[in-house]
Structure 1
Amino acid sequence: MRQPTLEPPYGTHALPPLGRAARRLAGMLPGHRLGRIGVSLLRRIVTGGKPGPFDVEVFPQIRARLYPAGNRCEKRAVAGPQLFDRAERDALREAFAASPSNPFVFLDLGANVGLYSLWMVSVARELSREVVVLAVEPDVGTRARLEANIAASTAGDSVMVAACAVGEHAGRGAMLAHEGNRGEHQVRAAGEGEADTFEILPIHEICARRGIVRIDAMKVDLEGHDEAALRGMFAAAPAGLWPRMIVVEAGKREELPAVVRLCLDNGYELASRTRLNALLRLRAGRSDGTS
């Protein structure tokens, strides 16, 4: 894997003293309701109402260049990153620590600017373990930010980037932009002869092109295409490729969404639910095709 470079160098867009102080304070606040309100108020001081970029450390040994205006995950990470999907990140860390796999293989489907991918690099460095991350992001602008964050964190030896979308079947796609939140950009089918398109590939094909034959954990955030992507995996991927752990959006409603029921029907069990996501684990024996 190549080690990308960041231009201008990391630190060029460092926070001013007041912003750094506010960010340190935000980083000490707990995750309850009042703590989140405090982080939100301090975030305004951190950014000074500016759109960015801001060069900050988001996780231990992980640095990023964030543009919080117009992308919710970057907004959350610019101040109080300890609150960003904390339960999901803790579960992934526990799975990594308990796994015998060397390296630990993580797929980040719908990687956005790479916060989940880089969290796994942070965990690998903490545990002195090897990790292979495949971050899949079709949007050109978002992928540029992802690659900048890989460069800022010198994580190019651990993170591969795939410039495609994920679907049930192979095809061509185009981006339907969301004006308020880059993380809600959606992939649509491309028209014949349309410009600025990209490949849509099923999970097993994306892995095959990069020599991945095992997935220890996978995060899926495909803005409406999660179920189709997983349906394609269950239908066509060898059972040995099925992830041992899946993090997928489940929404806030009490009933389980179709994507979670699909996983349950294919040998997974629901380990827990967070505010927005479901954490699923493959039942023993299913990874080799047995029941």
Structure 2
Amino acid sequence: MLITLCHDNKGGIVSRLLAPLTRKALIKQTSRLPIDIQVEGINLRCQFTDNYSEKKFVFTPWRYDRAERQILSQALANGGTFIDIGANVGLYTLTAIAAMGSDKGRIIAFEPNPVTLTRLLFNIEANPQFEQSNIRVLDHGIADEETSFFLHLNAGNLGESSIRGSDSGPETVPHPGNSRQGVNIRCRPLLPVLSELGIDRIDALKIDIEGAEDLALTPFLDAAPDALLPRLLIIENSEKQWKTDLFQTIQSRGYSLVGRNKMNSVFQFRSGYGH
């Protein structure tokens, strides 16, 4: 009941005052975690203690990418193909499949972190009201080549786990004296993966991989034909960690910036724009 009171879509005064108190009270009751809950028609199992995305979506939904998720839902209202790179526990993936409804659609979700991958798969199964056959989950990441990386895990916020640590190149194992926790993950370039899956059109693509977006998208944008470029592109603002100007690359391929906030930028592809 308290969580329901937090769900003022505009983040009114009651929600803003109640949300942090409710969140703190629940998270302290570790014996009750994880909890199963439905938010915006999506069933989730949430741990809360180690994933900010879960906390923001459940307790302060007006703060969790509301504009981006609304744009995504509009883009997929008649079906389509959605690519989710860095799916986490599935909030964008489930938003997309909910938006498609009974229309034909296809979702490819990439999540290489074993912990969040397990939660993603559970959350998908917990939503039998959606067409399960439309979703394909792949347990590897996306990068500029087929290789392995050391994924630096953030135990306090799994959503901030990244292959971009103090050393940003491929890394098979951490140095023995390194106290960082992590796991080796496999990564592949996006273009050959899409070819293997028989995908020839992308209606929307969201990417949030904590500073490695340039590593994943630049080779794809350099080589993909116009017909394969996502019509809608949602990307986390991690330019301070990028080694190349990914925003410039995106715009050079014919995209227009249609929205930007503190967390993300949203681009739309201009059909017929020459490469």
Assess same fold via TM > 0.5: yes
Task: Indicate the residue corresponding to 1:159 in structure 2.
Answer: 135
Q: Does 1:36 align with 2:23?
A: no
Give the fraction of aligned pairs with identical amino acids, expressed as a percent: 30
Contact conserved, 2:7 with 2:15, CA < 8 A, in 1?
no
Partner of 1:246: 233
- CA–CA distance in structure 2, aligned partners of residues 88 and 233 of structure 1: 22
Picking from 98, 113, 119, the partner of 1:139 is 113
After superposition, the Cα gap between the structure-2 partners of 1:204 and 1:232, relative to the gap in structure 1 and judged at 3 Å, is same
TM normalised by structure 2 equals 0.84
Q: Say if 2:74 and 2:99, in contact at 8 Å, map to a contact too.
A: no
CA distance change for structure 1 residues 270 and 34 in 2, over 3 Å: closer, same or farther? farther
2:49 alignment partner, one of 69, 80, 102: 69
Q: After superposition, what is the alpha-carbon deviation per residue over 1:187-221, rounded to whole angstroms, capped at 9, x for unaligned?
A: 262338x9963321111122223222211000010
SS at structure 2 position matched to 1:186? coil
* Contact residue 149 and residue 171 of structure 2 kept, 8 A: yes
Q: Equivalent residue for 2:36? A: 55
In the alignment, residue 107 of structure 1 is paired with which amino acid? I
- Higher deviation after alignment, 114-123 or 74-83: 74-83
Q: Where does the alignment leave 5 or more consecutive residues of structure 1 unmatched?
A: 1-20
Matches within 5 A, 1:91-130: 91-97=71-77, 103-125=79-101, 128-130=102-104
Tell me what 1:181 maps to.
Answer: 157
CA contact (8 A) 2:152 2:163 kept: yes
State the match for 1:87 in structure 2: 67
C-alpha distance 49-76 of structure 1, shift in aligned 2 (>3 A) = farther
The 3 A distance-change label for structure 1 pair 208 and 252 is closer
Deviates more, 1:231-240 or 1:74-83: 74-83
Matched residue of 1:191: which SS?
A: coil
Distance 1:40 1:275 in 2: 20
Measured in 2, the distance between the counterparts of 1:120 and 1:22 equals: 27
Cα pair distance change 1:22/1:145, threshold 3 Å: same
User: What is the CA-CA distance between 1:227 and the residue it aligns to?
Assistant: 1.3
| Structure 2 unaligned residues grouped into runs of 5+ | 165-169, 176-181
Cα contact 2:36–2:43 (8 A) shared by 1 = yes
The CA distance in 2 between the partners of 1:217 and 1:90, in whole Å, is 12
Structure-1 separation of matches of 2:126 and 2:50? 21
Q: Answer whether contact 1:218 1:246 (CA < 8 A) is retained.
A: yes
Question: Could you tell me how far apart the structure 1 residues matched to 2:152 and 2:13 are?
Answer: 34
**TM (normalized to structure 1)?**
0.80
Measured in 2, the distance between the counterparts of 1:81 and 1:29 equals 7
CA RMSD of aligned residues (A): 2.6
Equivalent AA in structure 1 for residue 125 of structure 2: A
Out of 191, 204, 210, the position equivalent to 2:172 is 191
Q: CA deviation at 1:163?
A: 0.7
Q: Which of the residues 253, 260, 263 maps onto 1:276?
A: 263
Deviation larger for 165-174 or 74-83: 74-83
Contact 2:146/2:187, CA 8 A, preserved across alignment: yes
In the alignment, is the contact (CA less than 8 A) between 2:142 and 2:190 conserved in 1?
A: yes
Q: Is the 8 A contact 2:5 2:15 kept in 1?
A: no
Tell me, in whole angstroms, the C-alpha distance in 1 between the residues paired with 2:140 and 2:160: 16
Q: Secondary structure at the match of 2:117?
A: helix
Cα deviation for residue 249 of structure 1 reads 1.3
Structure 2 equivalent of residue 237 of structure 1: 224
* Distance in structure 1 (CA, Å) of the matches to 2:37 and 2:207: 26
What SS does the corresponding residue of 2:81 show, helix, strand or coil?
A: strand
